[in-house]
Structure 1
Amino acid sequence: MAQQVIDSTNNNHLTAPKQKRYRVVLLHPSAGVNWSGGSEIFAIELARRLSGYFDVELLSGAPCGDFSQPSGGIPRTHAFEFVRNPLISGFVHKFMSHPEIVIEHVSNFLPCTIRLLTKPVDLIFPCNDYGGMAVGAVVRFFKGTPILFTEHVGLMGGGKSLSRNLRFHPNQLVVFSEKIAAFARNLAPQQNIVIIPNGVDVDKFTPIGNQIDFGLPKPVVLCVASLKRNSHKRIELAMQAIAKLPHASLLLCGDGIDRDYFQAKGDELLGKQRFQIQSFPYERMPEVYRSADVFTLPSIDEPFGLAYVEAMASGLPVVATDDEMRREIVADAGMVCDVTNLEIYAQALEQVLNQDLKMRSRQNALRFSWEAIALKYRDLILATIEKQR
């Protein structure tokens, strides 16, 4: 097993791209369709920046840059609209918990595999879990093409997704934290593992720019999450904690199948004057962040949490769950606490609201700029290709 934290300071070995631009293909059939998913945004942002070093192609569900190409199958977002039909939903959910994801994987397998087999590629970078990994494994079997994979689900569900993906034996596995790396190392001691955090566009998410008047009394606490009950986001904890702060409002930004439930719950706990649910297109999220006063998300087993760094890049302090990943991300730009203790959670929110942490939050977020993260992936891709060759 080889594990390392990539250092991009030594560029002496980067002469190969000047002689030959390696061809790197990323795969995510939902990219360009779903703009609220972390892995979709990851695929687009990384493909855009790697295009400066490689011949990059992103097999996506919809156009999202001159580097993207249609994947040829059905994105899970479109499949979800189909499987939620009452005539179909009850039947398909007897056999699978997320039929829309299965449809995406199955429908994209053949067109993506054919494209990668018929058009030479130096490295395959699946970004959509086991569907993309299966495509990569078949192409590697016939062509010897190495696979680089970033685990986005982490240890959610007891690490079930990571355990499954390790069976594909990617040539290089990227994880977000040492805890996830230790879990993977225990299951697959020979697996090559690198720790690289997720990135944020610090030119898009800034404290300066247009703001939105939500019509809520200040200060406004912002929570960004998909609206689904009993999920790892634990939105109700945030609602209950903010209900203990009579001077604060809560903006819940997101959408999902349980929106009506959360609307009723928020109206009950905070009242219509101090609570709103709104959803915005991704391009407006920088305005949303900079229009609030503090960001909170009390999720558990969150693999990374892109919303945390987007909020900090926009100048917002963060209050989050006290775990290894959140301590690393938040650092001194807010507080981590036992969010299951509502008194402690409410006190942490109160304390952060009474501090001016805008500049500290911004500086902390710069550690995760996509420019720095892309350089780490550039080095790792070069090393993986050259090792395979």
Structure 2
Amino acid sequence: MKKILGYTIEEDVMRIMILISVVGKVKRGGESSLIGLVSFLRKYAEIHVISGGPFPHDKVTNLGFPVMPKYTALYSGLPPFMRNRFIRRMHLDPLSVRNLFFCKHAVRVIRKQPPDLIVFRSVGPWGAKIGRYLRNAYKIPFVSIEGGWKTGERETARYGPNLHISVNINVADYLKKQLPGVEVVYIPNGISVANFDPEGPKARVDLPRPMFLGCGAMYKFKRFHLAIEAVSLLGKGTLLLLGKGSEEPYLQQFGKARLGHRFKMTSVPYDEMPSFYRAADILTLPSSGESFGMAYIEAMACNTPVVATNDRNRKIIVGNGGKLIDPEDIPAYATALDQACKTDYGERPRHQAERFDWAIIGPKYLQAFEETVIRSKRNLRDFPVYRRMSKKRRN
């Protein structure tokens, strides 16, 4: 018998299998957060990671992640209405099919070494379907953790996991209303603040000050064009954008047209991001939404203030470590950038980031996992499968 966080576990060590297909293939804040979670959990449980690429852990099964270029090309050549109305709704888009094959191979590993709990991290609906099969066949409870987008998370959670964890409080509340028979909790991503030392080296960036930093995938919802407009209206300082994505050509052209030499856009390896956070005066991300927003916490851990979109999720994340605004109000956005540069935040950004350190966030995940195992042993109930939501009801 063993007690952790007040709960009694029959086995000496809880055995957890964590499945994530994109680790080793994609290196971003979310994947870095998962590495931190595993590093914390291994102190209290036996962790076996099944991944789609290399993973820094002593017990890993690397299944690889199929690329399927021919299938991707075929999918891309289909008319948009066919892709959106039929293929994606059946979870047969390239990413979903890759996750299907990943889960299929993972089942073989799970059968050989049945754990006490299976955790599917960002594996989508196929992960939940496979988890449901394993629960029915082998009585293994499963937890799904997704990235914080309403439609995608609902599509996964509707298959009735023992527990669904959302890293976005807005999405968690949405799912509780939409799927009342599913256990849903909000637990944010964590960070190893020790990896983001404010006193570490700064990137050498020969650009006019103040320097405003924007980083992440260059997609439309990130709305970096609003940051360009705000810095242009401000009349001073530089905007440095770091990242790749479909909006790169447009942002390059628009940024140069509006800001000239006060604009630069490039990409750097994730491991170099702390040096750029330290070099920046302000981090600004005017996105319409974020699955979570690791960049906010990473920048604040380097004691760099943040100017971001004002919503409930980012109020929790940013706290008093920066300013929250409506970035579509360009004059107000520019004023907020200017005021943030003039404000002495002291160590408030760093202290705000420390609230998300794994020493604080990790026990919440551990307790959620242990409670799930305990409940599954006491109550082997049937879990509902909810219907797909029509487009009219999604909002």
Fold in common (TM above 0.5): yes
Identity %: 31
* Alpha-carbon separation, structure 1, partners of 2:143 and 2:52: 20
Deviation, structure 1 residue 151: 3.0
Q: Which residue of the partner structure matches residue 18 of structure 2?
A: 26
Contact 2:54/2:62 (8 A) holds in 1:
no
SS in 1 for 2:347: helix
Counterpart among 294, 311, 319 of residue 307 in structure 2? 319
Q: Which residue of the partner structure matches residue 138 of structure 2?
A: 143
* Alpha-carbon separation, structure 1, partners of 2:170 and 2:159: 21
SS in 2 for 1:368: coil
Matched, 1:130 2:130: no
* Alpha-carbon separation, structure 2, partners of 1:199 and 1:221: 25
Deviation, structure 1 residue 108: 0.8
Deviates more, 1:19-28 or 1:173-182: 173-182
Amino acid at match of 1:235: F
Contact 2:215/2:243 (8 A) holds in 1:
yes
Counterpart among 115, 119, 124 of residue 113 in structure 2? 119
Contact 1:83/1:99 (8 A) holds in 2:
no
Matched, 1:343 2:331: yes
Contact 1:234/1:300 (8 A) holds in 2:
yes
Q: Equivalences for 1:202-221 in 2 at 5 Å?
A: 202-221=193-212
Q: Which residue of the partner structure matches residue 254 of structure 1?
A: 243
Contact 1:218/1:248 (8 A) holds in 2:
yes
* Alpha-carbon separation, structure 2, partners of 1:100 and 1:280: 27
Matched, 1:263 2:252: yes
Give the number of aligned pairs: 367
* Alpha-carbon separation, structure 2, partners of 1:150 and 1:42: 12
Contact 1:126/1:132 (8 A) holds in 2:
yes
* Alpha-carbon separation, structure 2, partners of 1:68 and 1:250: 42
Cα distance, 1:181–1:153 mapped onto 2, change above 3 Å: closer
Cα distance, 1:53–1:278 mapped onto 2, change above 3 Å: same
* Alpha-carbon separation, structure 2, partners of 1:173 and 1:378: 14
Counterpart among 355, 360, 367 of residue 372 in structure 1? 360
Deviation, structure 1 residue 173: 1.7
* Alpha-carbon separation, structure 2, partners of 1:88 and 1:183: 31
SS in 2 for 1:186: helix
Q: Which residue of the partner structure matches residue 179 of structure 1?
A: 170
RMSD over aligned CA atoms reads 2.3
Contact 2:53/2:65 (8 A) holds in 1:
no
Contact 1:200/1:309 (8 A) holds in 2:
yes
Runs of 5+ in structure 1 lacking a partner? 1-9
* Alpha-carbon separation, structure 2, partners of 1:68 and 1:283: 23
Counterpart among 250, 273, 282 of residue 294 in structure 1? 282
Deviation, structure 1 residue 71: 4.5
- TM-score, normalised to structure 1, is 0.88
* Alpha-carbon separation, structure 2, partners of 1:31 and 1:136: 19
* Alpha-carbon separation, structure 1, partners of 2:318 and 2:148: 20
* Alpha-carbon separation, structure 1, partners of 2:26 and 2:375: 34
Q: Which residue of the partner structure matches residue 47 of structure 1?
A: 38
* Alpha-carbon separation, structure 1, partners of 2:62 and 2:129: 15
SS in 1 for 2:165: strand
Residue-by-residue CA offset, 1:333-366 (whole Å, 9 max, x unaligned): 1110111100001100100011122511001110
Q: Which residue of the partner structure matches residue 36 of structure 1?
A: 28
Amino acid at match of 2:289: D
Matched, 1:235 2:248: no
Amino acid at match of 2:140: T
Matched, 1:60 2:51: yes
Runs of 5+ in structure 2 lacking a partner? 378-395
* Alpha-carbon separation, structure 2, partners of 1:114 and 1:41: 27
Deviates more, 1:187-196 or 1:288-297: 187-196
Contact 1:73/1:107 (8 A) holds in 2:
no
Contact 2:215/2:241 (8 A) holds in 1:
yes
Contact 1:48/1:67 (8 A) holds in 2:
no
Contact 1:73/1:104 (8 A) holds in 2:
no
Cα distance, 1:31–1:292 mapped onto 2, change above 3 Å: same
Contact 1:48/1:65 (8 A) holds in 2:
no
Contact 2:306/2:318 (8 A) holds in 1:
yes
SS in 2 for 1:251: strand
Contact 1:43/1:58 (8 A) holds in 2:
no
* Alpha-carbon separation, structure 2, partners of 1:197 and 1:12: 19
Amino acid at match of 2:247: D
